[in-house]
Structure 1
Amino acid sequence: MKQNFTVRQGALDGVEAFLSVARHRSFRKAAAELGVTPSAISQAVRVLETRIGAALFVRTTRSVGLTEAGERFLSRAKPAFEELVAASEVARDLGQRPSGLLRLSVPRAVIPILLEPLVASFCKAWPEVEVEIAASKEVVDLAAEGFDAAIRLGQFVAADMVAVPMTPPFRLIVVGSPAYFEEHRPPRHTDDLRHHACLRWRRSSGALALWSFNDNGEALEIAVSGPFIASDFPTMLGAALEGVGLAQLPAPLAAEGLRAGKLVEVLDAYAPVMPGVFLCYPDRRQMLPKLRAFIDHVKRRQTGDSGMEAKKEAGRGGGRTR
């Protein structure tokens, strides 16, 4: 049978007073140490003894000693109380300065083009913060999974999340390799995609994503077909570079391939504009300094400020976040 273990309300009341009296063998010295009156210390100890059901001290007009029950209670309570104090100090330290483990849930596509340079500069600026990146295509529950924040495409940011923009809006473009277009005529209209090998993306829900377009201001979604299905944009990019077929990708992800002539954009007149990439987190009131430092770092990277300036600002109390 499963047991329920609980700590009674007030079960720790008087323990600090008891430990101070036991250490000094004096109610008066314990009162001075804790900044209260001797009568308050005496009352706290009496309440503790009543709750325990045993006398903990032997009191005379000239001395204070421990009973056998007091000795046994001291041997167990002292290390336990010290551990509680140490735990409080560790938690307080995390609440006062950027330190500890910062866990981020991110889509794989943003790691090489956005996150790697950002994290490198952040780690140099804040060496006491450890950054853990969990790449996933799923939109995870940050609180349930123990993440401090997530990096998400704008269309996947929930309404109850606080969002900080990391990129401006970008186009969602269709690209293919020169080798592919040596064998296939470039499409001029979205209807032409019926005659092309289109690389598809399977969402975390299991559904195949439709291709999105903007046709003279009207949103258009098309179910395409082709020989290859991937679960993330980088894999689709790799397949497009190899000439497997056409891929619809965020423009920043395809930018290097376009510059190098390894990719060719088509249907550019139909490319929709996406909201961009955002750093999002649940509630600014629950934010620890490590996350606040990362948010400020994101903002300063966008404006070109240095990590040293970030530290100076943190020393002045830090900046407010959105």
Structure 2
Amino acid sequence: MPFRRSDLADLSYFLAIARHRNFRKAATELGVSASALSHSLRGLEERLKVRLLNRTNRSVTLTAAGEELQGAIREPFAAIHEAENLLNLHRDAPTGRVRINVPDEAAMRLLVPVLPEFVSRYPDVEVDISVDNTMVDVIEAGFDAGIRFGGTVPEDMIAQRLSSDFRWVVAGAPGYFERHGEPKHPEDLMHHRCIRLRLGNGRMYHWDFEQGDDVLALDVPGPVIVDNASASRALGLSGMGLMYAAEPAIAPLVAQGRLRLTLEDWASPGPGYFIYYSSRRQVPHGLRLLVDLIRELRPLG
């Protein structure tokens, strides 16, 4: 069967579908519609005269032929993408696309402050940001990199620091303290209303405290559990309960008097944000430029 130019695009689409096992997620990665992906795959299967995927309303799985095709073409396509990235080094203006997976707080505190300048300097580089507080396999999901707190970066990744370390603090609205009083010791929190946190891996977060040699990790009580820093902050501002956050995230609200810190002598130090990516892939030139700009502008110090 003669190889057609359109087969390259269809095979690239197939790899994205095979990687995500989901048409919608693959379409988001590629910047096309899910219907366009479906049409492309049908055409590829008809030309190859073999079924590559099993599709139901609930799942997408690879057939045996699909598994073999994915294994055969994955590395060659990765090599093509790396070659495209290398060409950026020889262009007057970098181009391409950078896909990053970040939690909501990192998006607001690290990326939003630097993106206007980045777009001004490198208008031909497209930055695709997926805001997701769950821990995902960034490579398997088709991202170039992820941003997370230093202690949560997978060990098999290359990590680069994007911010200084900072303190984790307890804060509440002034009205909350008027109604419920102020804790004098971390263990007093067991008698307060706290806004509890669920980590990206599904585990409940224990609030950490440190004073000299005394170290505590408390599973605090509270009527509401969130997995989103913005929601925790909004609930804290409402006066519903005490919140636990990285100090830079709430510093402006503390300065405005809308939140007040408590138990400051027990504030726990924690690692800052790191960007991480696979050591097995060529790092896109646009990603290197973004990292350099974050380090230059230092939005979190």
Same structural fold, with TM-score higher than 0.5 when normalized by the shorter chain: yes
Shift in CA distance, 90/230, structure 1 to aligned 2, threshold 3 Å: closer
How many equivalent residue pairs? Answer: 218
Structure 2 residue aligned with 1:22: none
* CA–CA distance in structure 1, aligned partners of residues 285 and 161 of structure 2: 19
- Pairwise CA distance, 1:284: 7.4
- Pairwise CA distance, 1:206: 2.8
Q: Superposition pairs for residues 51-62 of structure 1, below 5 Å?
A: none
* CA–CA distance in structure 2, aligned partners of residues 112 and 292 of structure 1: 20
Instruction: Letter of the 1:267 partner, please give it.
Output: L
Structure 1 residue aligned with 2:197: 201
* CA–CA distance in structure 1, aligned partners of residues 232 and 81 of structure 2: 45
Instruction: Letter of the 2:208 partner, please give it.
Output: S
Structure 2 residue aligned with 1:211: 207
* CA–CA distance in structure 2, aligned partners of residues 204 and 137 of structure 1: 5
Which of 1 and 2 has higher RCO (CA within 8 Å, sep 6+)? 2
Q: Which has the larger radius of gyration?
A: 1
- Pairwise CA distance, 1:157: 1.2
Structure 1 residue aligned with 2:118: 122
Q: Is 1:189–1:267's contact at 8 Å kept on the other side of the alignment?
A: yes
- Pairwise CA distance, 1:102: 0.5
Shift in CA distance, 261/142, structure 1 to aligned 2, threshold 3 Å: same
Structure 2 residue aligned with 1:175: 171
Residue-by-residue CA offset, 1:55-78 (whole Å, 9 max, x unaligned): xxxxxxxxxxxxxxxxxxxxxxxx
**Helix, strand or coil at the partner of 1:117:** coil
* CA–CA distance in structure 1, aligned partners of residues 148 and 155 of structure 2: 13
Q: CA RMSD in A?
A: 2.2
Residue-by-residue CA offset, 1:12-71 (whole Å, 9 max, x unaligned): xxxxxxxxxxxxxxxxxxxxxxxxxxxxxxxxxxxxxxxxxxxxxxxxxxxxxxxxxxxx
Structure 2 residue aligned with 1:27: none
- Pairwise CA distance, 1:217: 3.1
- Pairwise CA distance, 1:92: 4.2
- Pairwise CA distance, 1:188: 0.7
**Helix, strand or coil at the partner of 1:300:** helix
Q: Is 2:85–2:282's contact at 8 Å kept on the other side of the alignment?
A: no
Quick check: 1:95 aligned with 2:83? no
- Pairwise CA distance, 1:91: 6.7
* CA–CA distance in structure 1, aligned partners of residues 80 and 181 of structure 2: 67
Structure 2 residue aligned with 1:138: 134
* CA–CA distance in structure 2, aligned partners of residues 255 and 289 of structure 1: 34
User: What TM-score, normalized by structure 1, do the two folds share?
Assistant: 0.63
- Pairwise CA distance, 1:302: 3.3
Structure 2 residue aligned with 1:55: none
Residue 289 of structure 1: which of 285, 290, 295 is its match?
A: 285
Quick check: 1:222 aligned with 2:223? no
Quick check: 1:255 aligned with 2:269? no
- Pairwise CA distance, 1:151: 1.1
Structure 1 unaligned blocks of 5 or more: 8-87, 304-322
- Pairwise CA distance, 1:176: 0.3
Q: Superposition pairs for residues 30-179 of structure 1, below 5 Å?
A: 92-97=83-88, 98-179=94-175
- Pairwise CA distance, 1:127: 0.8
Aligned residues with identical type, % of pairs: 33
- Pairwise CA distance, 1:285: 5.7
User: What TM-score, normalized by structure 2, do the two folds share?
Assistant: 0.68
